[in-house]
Structure 1
């Protein structure tokens, strides 16, 4: 891969595993410095030792409002600027609504919706001042299809899809590109709540994506010509097609 992001500073939330880690690795390979945001300090330390000074670990509990608000000041203190935000952190609640726990619903909606909105809100003034920036939000195929086995999760992604598309229209005049990526099921920790038989069936039928597949699309979005708008990329395994 050519070093198309040389000199750029990226922030990836939920960076210690899954899509966040794959996105980080792709950006590092393209020459970016990456601020890896996660609450797992041990994992971030291991990844920094693996990848060296191009990785800047930032331990934040995004579900804590005061901690969440430190994201941009900490990034500017450690890296001096911010060019790319990949708002990727999220959680999953599946199954029948009647079986869901209210506290789990609150946590998921906070992380999947409120935290994304706050992170984007907080970085926009810096990007507007510099008249450039890229914001990518990890959404889901569930944002486009009323998935009957995950009404709470799907609702969070429908909400964030609306947020991305409305904010995109507000800030493009400042040179800021905002888009989302909506993968079908990806092999990651988010699938831990899937019923075992459903997960096994999906694996056997080839109905799952790899996190690296998503990272490739993230890189396409970041390196496309500045004049090209990408509202959302829906990606799914061929065997999962709707």
Structure 2
């Protein structure tokens, strides 16, 4: 048995109380809300033009997403006593999908990412609440002012890439499917559903997406991550969204 296997077997993932789950949720959600609705408008005065608020939002939300990554590391370090990769990997379900029938890892289950990504894409087709253009990246990149701002703007493109990475790989998904979900056994078989509710309500920084996020992300990310005990499933599916916006942003920069 390798050192990695030994470390993995030694990892104990505790079941948190509902209060602890809500505290960690609040530690991620509340800073994002404050950054988006209090700090960003204040920081916008440091910029000029029609892109002042969007630029402030990008900076603030990048900080909030990076904080989530740091939060995950802090919690795992206190819980496991180390941040060695084999331990972190096991503690955050950063493994290949595990078949619920055999209990073994199965690379064939990765193919489920394809239909789950298609399911996530349906989110864009659902009716949505009124959305401010300056606070929605998709609408912003589709606007004349947003396209003019992105043209040749490599510095802000690089910052957007950081946002994309921490949004779907090192921030939101790592926290909700890697840290929270494995520790939500106190909710019983509904743990994945509660996880989806918490993830939807976490979006205080963009509350207009909460209904669609609950209806789609819960089944495209939370449920499969729980069923196959792999946060990488949720990360892969959610990251398809980041890849989509990355391609659009890159095309605009290269114009």
Q: Please report the TM-score for the alignment, with normalisation by the length of structure 1.
A: 0.32
Return the structure number with greater relative CO, CA threshold 8 A, min gap 6.
2
Q: Please report the TM-score for the alignment, with normalisation by the length of structure 2.
A: 0.30
Between Structure 1 and Structure 2, the one with more helix by share is 2
Greater Cα radius of gyration, structure 1 or 2: 2
Between Structure 1 and Structure 2, the one with more strand by share is 1
